[in-house]
Amino acid sequence: MEYKEYESFNLEKLRSQNTHFSPKPPFQHQVEAFKKLSSTFKLDSKEPRSGLLVLPTGAGKTFTAVKWSCDHVIPKNIKILWLAPSFYLLDQAFSTFCENARDISHSKKTLNIRRVSSNPSHAKASSIQLTDDIVIMTIQTAISNLHPNNQDGSGNKVETAFRKFIEHSKETGLFVIVDEAHHSPAYGCRNLLIGEKGLRELVRNSNILGLTATPTYTDKARRGWLREIFQDGDKGVIYQADKETLIAQGILARPNYIEVSTGTEMEVDDRLYDQLVKQHKDLPESIIEILAKDKDRNNFIVNSYVSKKDTYGKTIIFADRWFQCEYIKNKLVDEGIKADAIYSHIDADPGSADARNKRKEDDNKRILDDFKSNKLDVLINVRMLTEGVDVPNVQTVFITRQTTSSILMTQMIGRALRGKKAGGSSDEANVILFFDDWKRLIDWVDPRDGGTKPDGEKPEKGEHYPLEYISIRLIEELSKSIENDGVYPIEYKKIFPIGWYKTEIVYANSDNNNDSMEPFTEFVMVYEHTQSKFEAFISSITDLKLLDEWSKEYLDDKWMQPQVEEWIDNYFDKETDDIGRRINSDLIKIVRHIAQDNLHSTPPYHSFEEKEIYDLDKIAHELINFSNPQLNNYVNQEFSKAGMLWETFYKTPNRLLIALQLVINKIMTGGYGSKVPTSTSKITPQPPKELTEKEKEKVKRRDGYACLCCGVKAEGKLQIDHIKPFCMGGETSIQNSQTLCAICNRCKGRNEIDFRCNKTKLSNPKNLDLSFRTESQYSVRTLTRIVNLFYHCKAVDKIEWDGSIRGYSIYLHPDNNCQWLLEHKAELLKYVQDRLGRQAYKIGVTTKK
Residue boundaries of the structural domains of the chain: 6-246, 254-438, 491-607, 687-756, 769-849
Mean pLDDT value of segment 782-802? 92
Q: Which one has a higher pLDDT value, 512 or 365?
A: 365
CATH class belonging to 769-849: alpha beta
Neighbours of 575 (CB within 10 A): 6
- pLDDT tier, 672 (very low <50, low <70, confident <90, very high otherwise): very low
Q: 161-172 and 139-146 helices cross at what angle (nearest 10)? A: 90
Does the pLDDT of residue 120 top 70, yes or no?
A: yes
Q: pLDDT for 456-473, tens place per residue?
A: 333 333 335 666 566 566
Give CA–CA dist 374/22, Å, rounded. 23
Q: Which of 21-35, 293-307, 584-598, 642-656 has the lowest mean pLDDT?
A: 642-656
Measure Cα distances from 133 to 8, 125, 287, 315, 454 in Å: 10, 15, 41, 38, 38
Q: Which residues contact 613 (CB under 8 A, 6 or more apart)?
A: 644, 749, 750
Q: pLDDT for 480-501, tens place per residue?
A: 655 555 545 566 666 778 888 8
Report which DSSP code applies to 157. B
Give CA–CA dist 468/442, Å, rounded. 9
pLDDT value for 631: 87
Question: According to the per-residue pLDDT averaged within each range, which of 49-53, 212-216, 266-270 is highest?
Answer: 49-53
Q: pLDDT for 740-752, tens place per residue?
A: 987 888 788 778 8
CATH architecture designation of domain 6-246: 3-Layer(aba) Sandwich (3.40)
CATH number of 687-756: 1.10.30
pTM over 0.85: no
H or E element in which residue 599 lies: none
Q: Are 835 and 774 in contact (CB under 8 A)?
A: yes
Q: pLDDT for 190-216, tens place per residue?
A: 889 998 889 999 998 899 999 988 765
Q: Are 157 and 140 in contact (CB under 8 A)?
A: no
Tell the burial category of 680 from Cβ atoms under 10 Å away from its Cβ (0-12, 13-18, 19+): exposed
Q: Which of 54-63, 249-258, 608-617 has the lowest mean pLDDT?
A: 608-617
Would you say the CATH fold of 254-438 matches that of 6-246?
yes
- pLDDT tier, 634 (very low <50, low <70, confident <90, very high otherwise): confident
Does the pLDDT of residue 558 top 90, yes or no?
A: no
Q: Which one has a higher pLDDT value, 378 or 415?
A: 378
CATH architecture designation of domain 254-438: 3-Layer(aba) Sandwich (3.40)
- pLDDT tier, 283 (very low <50, low <70, confident <90, very high otherwise): confident
Give CA–CA dist 589/521, Å, rounded. 10
Q: Which one has a higher pLDDT value, 595 or 443?
A: 595
